Amino acid sequence: MIYDNLGQVQRKIKEACERSGRSAGEVTLISVSKTKPLQMLKEAYEAGARDFGENKVQELTEKIPQMPGDVRWHMIGHLQRNKVKYIVGKVYLIHSVDSLRLAEEISREAVKQDMEVNILLEINVAGEESKYGAAPEEAESLAYSISKLPGIHICGLMAIAPYVENAEDNRQYFRKLKQLSVDIERKNIDNVSMDVLSMGMTGDYSVAVEEGATYVRVGTGIFGERDYVKGVVTE
C-alpha cells in the first residue's frame, strides 16, 4: 500500500510540475510519518523515501536511531525552546521557527556543537488564530534579526495552509508565501537564502507545487489516516 501511495503522490507532483513548467527535480516529497509505527517508515524507506517529517521531539528522537543513517529528518511541528538541544545535530532541517527567542536557542546549541543549523521561518499565512507562525508582515524583520545569529542559516519559508475541502481555496495562500519569499530574497540579507518553500499537504500539494513549493509534506496520502489512540489531537 505504502509503495503504491508513494508512487501515486510522486506522479501527481510530476504532473503538477509539468502543468506549471517546473522540473520535477525541484520538488522533494517529505513523508510525514508522525504517529506511525516504525514498520511503516521502513516500508516507505524500502520504496525509496529518504525525507521523513515528524512533529514531536520525543517521537523523532525515538525513531532516528532505528532508521538507516541516510534518512533526512525534518522537524515540522511546533518546537519548544527547552527541547531544542535534543534535535540540533540530528535533523536535516527545522521547518518551524517562528520567533527570535526560539532561533536564539537553536543558535546557542549550534555554537555549542560547533555546527550550522538550517531552518525555515514558519509563516501564519492565512492569519489563523489557532496556528503557530510569524505574521507575514513580521517575516522580513524576523529574518533580519535571525540572520545575525551565529550557527543558524535561514533557507526559506514554511506554511501550514488552512484545512479546506477544495484545494483551490488555498492557492491564494501558497501564492502569498511565494511572493513573500521573493520579497525577502530581494532584500539580499546576509546569511539568508529563500531557495526553499515548504508548503502543501495531502489535500492540496498539487496546488502548492503549481505555486512553487520545493518541499511538500504528505502524511495521510502515503501512510493512511492517523489514529490518535490516546484521543488527543495535538497538531
Ligand X SMILES: *Cc1c(COP(=O)(O)O)cnc(C)c1O
Cα–Cα dist 195/178, whole Å: 10
Nearer to ligand X, 55 or 181 (CB): 55
CB 15 within 8 A of CB 206: yes
Per-residue contact flags (x/-) with ligand X for residues 72 to 101, judged by CB under 6 A = ----xx------------------------
Pairing mode, strands 117-122 and 152-158: parallel
Size of the site for ligand X (CB under 6 A): 15
* Minimum CB distance to ligand X smaller for 26 or for 235: 235
Tell me how far, at minimum, the Cβ of 32 lies from ligand X, in Å. Answer: 4
From 126, 160, 194, 207, residue interacting with ligand X (rule: CB under 6 A): 160
Which stretches of 47-138 are DSSP H helices? 57-63, 84-87, 100-112
Helices (H) and strands (E) in the chain, counts: 9, 8
- The interface with ligand X within residues 209-228 (CB under 6 A) comprises 217-221
Q: Should residue 55 be labelled a site residue for ligand X when binding is judged by CB under 6 A?
A: yes
State which of residues 9, 16, 34, 157 lies at the interface with ligand X (CB under 6 A).
34
Asked whether the beta carbons of 124 and 159 are under 8 A apart, the reply is: yes
Residue nearer to ligand X on the CB measure, 151 or 203 = 203
CB burial class (10 A; 0-12, 13-18, 19+) of residue 64? middle
Task: Find the shortest distance in angstroms from Cβ 129 to ligand X.
Answer: 17
CB 231, CB 216: distance < 8 Å: no
Q: Which is nearer to ligand X, 132 or 144 (CB)?
A: 132
**Which residues here bind ligand X, judged by CB under 6 A?**
32, 34, 55, 76-77, 160, 201-203, 217-221, 235
